[in-house]
Amino acid sequence: MHDISTLTVGLGTRAYDISVGRGLIARADDLIGAFLNDRHIVVISDSKVAPVHLPALMTVCARVGRRCDTIEVPAGESSKSMPVLAKLLEDILALGVDRGVVLVALGGGVIGDLVGFAAASLLRGVDFIQVPTTLLAQVDSSVGGKTGVNAAAGKNLIGAFHQPRAVLADLAALDTLADRELRAGYAEVVKYGLLGDAAFFEWLEAHGGSVLARDDASLRHAVTVSCEAKARIVEADERESGKRALLNLGHTFAHALEAVCGYDGRLLHGEAVGTGMALAYDLATEMQICSGQDRGRVHAHIAASGLVTRLGDSPAAHADTASLIDIMRRDKKVRDGRMRFVLPRAIGDSYVSDEVREDVLAAVLEASR
């Protein structure tokens, strides 16, 4: 299949392929038939994605599976919660599954994280496959095995590492994606340029408009380069003891912004990441780690992508600085009581720091209002 790009996440006996191309859902039996043949398949989707993409996937499952079931959960970030997870697990068990079941996550990052955590927990671990239908999920959350749900104390604080058996990134699924969701996913694409690939960021400055206009070749390149970068980082540091933490560029800010908005849909994860990356460059510039020129380029590109760079323009603007910092203190990246931020030295060069003074952080947040 020459029209499909295949990347491998090399994790020894748990290695898996990421397939990128158009029309992959309809060809899923050719691409991942080995994981579906004569299996009990349970496809989990949400109320927004299921009407659009579930029929095509179920046609494939019916061809190869021994038994095929579907479960639908409500759309939105609020489904990444313990109550929804508990109901999902009970619903799966009610189907009479055994350890030979394979769960298929059909949807965006919320579905992927939720179903992955269900797979990690169910019968102490069963197989699952990621079929991401948003740009954010295709380039980031579907790859790497991070699964979980949100807690009242913060985002992604309950979860497990559980790698999928395969990832199918069908670019055709992005045809029906809302522009807002596409922009939110694009923030994660930009992240890969900023954290370790200055040449890719330069390409995005030139071609980001084409990606957002859904030009097929541009989208394919953006998704493939992002997945390749994520795969290499995951191979080097599967459980985030070192290099993988760089993938959190902008996320310490972003998770706090999301938390104060209550995961109610006012602020999408990728939108928060866009603002968070701008704030990370503000902080690094204030600490004299990064040049104002690089900060200006990053702010300009994020803004040109239709994303917010200033806290004052964000749906989280109502939150006072002390509240935001308090949430950051509870972030899962905190070690020994010290907050950890991914900070840029330059575009394409980032590192993890636990030496951010709270007064400087507060000043940066205030200046962004």
Residue 255 a catalytic site member = yes
Spatial distance between the Cα atoms of 30 and 323, rounded to a whole number of angstroms: 50
In 3-state terms, what secondary structure has residue 49? coil
Say whether 251 is catalytic.
Answer: yes
Which of 353, 116, 130 minimizes the C-alpha distance to 245?
Answer: 353
37 annotated active-site? no
From the candidates 230, 295, 332, 333, give the one annotated as an active-site residue: 230
Question: Among the options 244, 295, 332, 340, which is catalytic?
Answer: 244
Question: Active site residue: 2, 124, 318, 357, which one?
Answer: 124
User: Could you confirm whether 124 is annotated as catalytic?
Assistant: yes
- The Cα 105–Cα 10 span in angstroms is 21
Exactly one of 269, 301, 332, 340 is catalytic; name it. Answer: 269
Q: Which amino acid is at 261?
A: C
- The closest of 195, 53, 31 to 134, measured between CA atoms, is 53
In the set 181, 188, 258, 271, the catalytic residue is 188
Active-site residue (options: 181, 228, 240, 258): 240
Identified catalytic residue from 40, 221, 255, 301: 255
Q: Catalytic residue at 230?
A: yes
- Given the residues 40, 162, 251, 301, select the one marked as catalytic: 251
Whether 80 is catalytic is: no
299 labelled catalytic: no
Helix, strand, coil proportions of the chain in percent (round to 5)? 55, 20, 30
Is 146 in the active site?
yes
Name the active-site residue from 39, 80, 146, 155.
Answer: 146
Is 355 in the active site? no
* Contact predicate 218/250, CB 8 Å: no
Within the chain, strands assigned E span 5-9, 16-21, 40-46, 67-73, 102-107, 127-132, 146-151, 154-161, 166-170, 341-346, 349-353
Pairing of strands 16-21, 166-170: parallel
How wide is the angle at C-alpha 127 spanned by C-alphas 153 and 109, nearest 5°?
Answer: 40
318 assigned to active site: no
Q: Which of 150, 248, 271, 295 is catalytic?
A: 248
Task: Report, as residue numbers or ranges, the catalytic residues.
Answer: 124, 146, 188, 230, 240, 244, 248, 251, 255, 269
